[in-house]
């Protein structure tokens, strides 16, 4: 205890102590606020995407290419790559549904297709989107980030398409003219692979907007899964066992005249429009509930559950059963644009850390110089009988008092600055920052781990400011130290 009292007296008696404490406290408070801002961006993005289309966990097929809910994320060629199906679907679905902590499972099939629409001038135009084939009502009811402006979601088994307000805006920008699209209209949706084209006419049942504007969300169109499978000619909904070619007999099928098969046909001239419905293929015969053709399972979890623990458990079960699927968090499923925002955050964080690291070097040097300036004092103590352990404790207590006091002060200042940012309600207009924060205002999230990590950094500074001066002090001959020579 004598070593602590002696160290405290030394700290209080030196004028430089206050400067050191303030300098460290300022750096710590800057780190607290910057971490709170970055935690705020992460929380904002997480809320936006989980409530809009990713859920908490996504079950997806294993793939050799980067795969998100938008499909292949490979630059340039990704849109043209077919998305693998979840196999075996029913077994995977049953496994996921039996997992504790998962409340809702939303099957989804993704495809990249085009919409044809008419402008107010009567001109036909088209635009490309990522189509999410889902059960409309169930999907919308479990995505609180989706709010309807007009119409409603299509029900299970019903044909329909839903467009976001942002998608309509993108279509107008593409055509450079207002468009004539409203709820109840039939929209022409088609897909071409360069050789053939598949076309369907689908009623627009609703127009919606997302809680937060985001460029990633603007690319999404919601459509019924049966139509999407038909557009992409996914026809394994009806198994081969259900159709016996040997029992198909057109000659003896009760039709007396083969021409009667085409009695309703008429000659038509080709037009510029693609608005004709080209019929319903075999794949559309099966109801949506009977289908086992899906590419993703979107999972919503209970509150206060460990997402990482659930993912580890699911992936262990998938591996045990040798199923080619995997469970991932929302960020991995949200697409490349979210990854770009994440990397931007990492770059900004690294920049701040570099600035702080430079400051901490200055702080450490200040502590070291402060300790070395007292080599004469240390030599005197050793000359009158103070042991090496007493000197070590004295140096340790002095640096600890300085850095811990500064750390506490820095955390208090950081908390005050965090409260100030909240009270100011700082508005942001930049679209990238809106995506980062998940809203139009800067929101910080101050966590206990943030404050503990900053205090840990203060302790690390204490060790740095203790070891080197101690080595110099103990390595110097007491007689030489008393003369003021290190």
pLDDT at 96: 96
C-beta neighbour count of 27 within 10 angstroms: 25
pLDDT at 71: 84
Distance CA 264, CA 473 (A): 104
pLDDT at 298: 96
Tell me how far CA of residue 480 lies from CA of 154, 470, 486, in angstroms: 89, 16, 7
Structure tokens at 86: 């979840």
Distance CA 40, CA 50 (A): 15
pLDDT at 252: 41
DSSP element (H, E) containing 421: helix 388-424
Location of structure tokens 């300085």: 402
Residue 53 CA, distance from chain mean position: 11
pLDDT at 437: 67
Q: Which residue has the higher pLDDT, 376 or 165?
A: 165
Distance CA 451, CA 295 (A): 42
pLDDT at 372: 63
Distance CA 43, CA 40 (A): 5
Average pLDDT, the chain: 78
The pLDDT-based confidence of 443 (bands split at 50, 70, 90) is confident
Sign of the alpha-carbon dihedral angle for 386, 377, 20, 461? negative
Q: What is the mean pLDDT of residues 56-77?
A: 82
Give every CB contact of residue 72 below 8 A, 6+ residues apart in sequence: 63, 65, 66, 78, 79, 81, 83
For the ranges 228-237, 265-274, 340-349, the lowest mean pLDDT is seen at: 265-274
pLDDT at 93: 95
The pLDDT-based confidence of 327 (bands split at 50, 70, 90) is very high
pLDDT at 254: 42
The top-scoring range by mean pLDDT among 221-230, 248-257, 283-292, 406-415 is: 221-230
pLDDT at 318: 96
Structure tokens at 346: 């990492």
pLDDT at 92: 96
Share of the chain above pLDDT 90, in %: 30
Q: Which residue has the higher pLDDT, 212 or 117?
A: 117
Q: What is the mean pLDDT of residues 167-178?
A: 87
Location of structure tokens 């889902």: 134
Tell me how far CA of residue 391 lies from CA of 11, 383, 479, in angstroms: 15, 12, 16
- Cβ 52 vs Cβ 143: under 8 Å: yes
Q: What is the mean pLDDT of residues 285-301?
A: 76
Give every CB contact of residue 425 below 8 A, 6+ residues apart in sequence: 441
CA dihedral (394, 395, 400, 405) in degrees, to 10, reads 80
Distance CA 197, CA 217 (A): 26
Q: Which residue has the higher pLDDT, 49 or 296?
A: 296
pTM exceeding the 0.85 threshold for the entire prediction: no
Give every CB contact of residue 220 below 8 A, 6+ residues apart in sequence: 53, 129, 130, 132, 164, 167
For the packed helices 89-97 and 307-320, what is the interaxial angle rounded to 10 degrees?
140
The top-scoring range by mean pLDDT among 63-72, 378-387, 412-421, 470-479 is: 412-421
The pLDDT-based confidence of 81 (bands split at 50, 70, 90) is low
Cis peptide before 88 (omega within 30 of 0): yes
Under the phi-then-psi rule, with left for phi > 0, alpha for psi from -120 to 50, and beta for the rest, what region is 14? beta
pLDDT exceeds 50 at position 29 = yes
Burial string for 86-115 (b: 16+ CB within 10 Å, else e) reads beebeebbebbeebebbebbbbbbbbbbbb
Tell me how far CA of residue 68 lies from CA of 16, 205, 390, in angstroms: 56, 27, 61
pLDDT exceeds 90 at position 313 = yes
pLDDT at 394: 74
What count of Cα atoms within 13 Å lies in the side-chain half-sphere of residue 436?
Answer: 23
Distance CA 109, CA 70 (A): 10
The pLDDT-based confidence of 228 (bands split at 50, 70, 90) is very high
The pLDDT-based confidence of 335 (bands split at 50, 70, 90) is confident
pLDDT at 260: 45
pLDDT in tens, 133-147: 999 999 999 999 999
Tell me how far CA of residue 119 lies from CA of 60, 199, 206, 230, in angstroms: 38, 20, 19, 27
Structure tokens at 141: 């009811």
What count of Cα atoms within 13 Å lies in the side-chain half-sphere of residue 215?
Answer: 14
pLDDT exceeds 80 at position 112 = yes
- Cβ 186 vs Cβ 202: under 8 Å: yes
């Amino acid at each position: 205890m004598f070593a602590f009292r002696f160290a405290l007296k030394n700290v209080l008696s030196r004028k430089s102590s206050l400067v050191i404490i303030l300098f460290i406290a300022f750096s710590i408070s800057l780190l607290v606020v910057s971490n709170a801002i970055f935690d705020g961006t992460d929380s904002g993005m997480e809320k936006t995407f989980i409530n809009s289309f990713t859920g908490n966990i996504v079950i997806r097929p294993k793939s050799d290419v980067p795969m998100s809910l938008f499909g292949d994320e490979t630059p340039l060629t990704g849109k043209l790559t077919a998305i693998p199906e979840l196999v075996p679907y029913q077994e995977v679905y049953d496994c996921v549904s039996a997992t504790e902590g998962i409340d809702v499972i939303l099957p989804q099939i993704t495809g990249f297709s085009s919409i044809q629409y008419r402008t107010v001038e009567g001109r036909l135009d088209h635009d490309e989107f990522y189509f999410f084939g889902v059960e409309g009502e169930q999907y919308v009811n479990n995505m609180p980030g989706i709010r309807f402006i007009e119409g409603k979601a299509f029900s299970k088994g019903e044909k329909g398409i839903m467009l976001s307000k942002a998608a309509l805006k993108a279509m107008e920008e593409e055509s450079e003219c207002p468009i004539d699209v409203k709820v109840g209209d039939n929209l022409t949706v088609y897909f071409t692979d360069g050789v053939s084209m598949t076309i369907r006419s689908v009623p627009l049942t609703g127009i919606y907007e997302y809680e937060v504007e985001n460029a990633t969300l603007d690319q999404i169109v919601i459509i019924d899964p049966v139509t999407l499978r038909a557009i992409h000619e996914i026809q394994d909904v009806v198994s081969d066992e259900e159709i016996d070619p040997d029992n198909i007999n057109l000659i003896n099928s009760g039709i007396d005249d083969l021409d009667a098969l085409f009695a309703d046909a008429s000659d038509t001239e080709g037009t510029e429009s693609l608005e004709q419905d080209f019929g319903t293929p075999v794949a559309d015969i099966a109801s949506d509930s009977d289908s086992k053709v899906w590419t993703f399972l979107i999972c919503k979890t209970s509150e206060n559950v460990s997402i990482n623990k659930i993912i580890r458990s699911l992936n262990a079960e998938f591996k045990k059963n040798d199923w080619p699927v995997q469970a991932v968090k929302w960020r991995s499923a949200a697409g490349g644009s979210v990854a770009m925002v994440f990397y931007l955050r990492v770059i900004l964080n690294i920049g701040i850390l570099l600035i702080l690291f430079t400051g901490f070097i200055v702080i450490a040097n200040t502590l070291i110089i402060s300790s070395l300036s007292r080599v004469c004092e240390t030599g005197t103590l050793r000359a009158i009988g103070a042991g090496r352990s007493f000197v070590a404790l004295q140096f340790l207590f002095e640096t600890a008092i300085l850095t811990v006091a500064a750390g506490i002060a820095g955390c208090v200042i950081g908390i005050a600055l965090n409260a100030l940012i909240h009270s100011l309600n700082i508005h942001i207009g930049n679209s990238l920052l809106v995506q980062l924060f998940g809203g139009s205002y800067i929101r910080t999230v101050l966590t206990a781990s943030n404050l503990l990590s900053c205090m840990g950094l203060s302790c690390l500074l204490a060790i740095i400011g203790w070891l080197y001066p101690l080595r110099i002090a103990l390595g110097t001959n007491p007689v030489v130290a008393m003369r003021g020579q290190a």
